Chains A and B, each alone.
Chain A
Amino acid sequence: MVILAVGLILFGVFFLVVAAIGTLRLPDVFTRSHAVSLTDSLGAICVLAGLSIYQGFGINMLKILVVLVLLLLLNPVIAHATVRAAYRAGVKPQTEEDQ
């Protein structure tokens, strides 16, 4: 059980590191926010799933699941708000033609 939990957490941390690398490497706000959305999809899902397995069945597992559901509902909202604000402020996304 502990091995499975640690494996899941390490797997999630790998995606968090990839997201950090992506945030540094990618060129503009739109593509960077794609990299950030890696953290809330596989990164957070794996880390929180690992934590809930480590806790075992009980009230703490339910609490972690509540956090996970809220994260999956709210993180896209934040990403969308950031990107829409950038778009409305006149930031033009780099497309294939101007590279």
Chain B
Amino acid sequence: MKSSFPKQFIANTLALFCVWLVLSGKYDNFHLVLGFMVSCGVAWLNTGFPHSPFHHFPWARVVLYSPWLFLRVVESSLHLTKLILNPSLPIKPILITYRSHLRHRGAIVLLGNSVTLTPGTITVEVNGNAFLVHAIDETAGKDLTTGRMERQLAWVFQEDTNQR
């Protein structure tokens, strides 16, 4: 991977320097130069490592996906709040096994993360493409079982899930 060395190094340095700018909040020459030197050093230390699952990660479409996820999170939060505050506690916990057709490793990670972030469903185990999800009742697990969440992620990663 000698050819991608300078590009990856520059990208890492810029990303680290942005984090430095946000976190330090001081913009005099001393802190800017110090931050730039530290970012260069950390980026240089990290050049030898193989690519993470975040290589070829469609950041722009993930950002577009997040408002949809946010609405789902709000909706299921209200559903869960109703369940908890109901005096008779009408919960019907179920375990759902779900086989996903997503191929990108980042897509699997994002699906597991979205499922757990949504209140009422938690990813218990992930084995390759097979998900074991605990849901507090059937309504909470509906986004997953109907494949709605997976379709959104298939759009994010530009994969087709029509082979089912």
Question: Which residues of B, 31-58, contact A by the 8 Å Cβ criterion?
Answer: none
Partner of A30, one of B81, B92, B112, B134: B134
Residues of chain B contacted by A40 (CB below 8 angstroms): 117
B136→A84 contact, CB < 8 A: no
Q: A41 contacts B117, CB within 8 Å?
A: yes
Known contacts A18-B81, A73-B113; decide if A83 and B25 are in contact (CB<8 Å).
no
Q: In whole angstroms, how far apart are the Cα atoms of A10 and B136 in the complex?
A: 26
A30 to B118, alpha carbons, bound, how many Å?
A: 14
Give the bracket for the number of chain A residues in contact with chain B.
35 or more
The one of A15, A37, A41, A96 in contact with B94, judged by C-beta atoms closer than 8 angstroms, is A96
Interface of A is mostly: helix
The interface residues of chain B lying within 8 Å CB-to-CB of A15 are 77, 81
Contact check, A79 vs B23: say whether CB atoms are below 8 A apart: no
Query: Interface residues, chain B, CB within 8 Å of chain A?
Result: 19, 22-23, 25, 70, 73-74, 77, 80-81, 84-85, 89, 91-95, 112-113, 116-125, 132, 134, 136, 140
Interface contacts beyond A34-B122, A66-B23, A95-B94: sample of 15 additional A-B pairs, CB < 8 Å, sorted by A: A18-B81, A34-B121, A34-B134, A34-B140, A37-B122, A41-B74, A41-B77, A42-B73, A73-B113, A76-B123, A84-B124, A84-B125, A87-B124, A93-B95, A95-B92
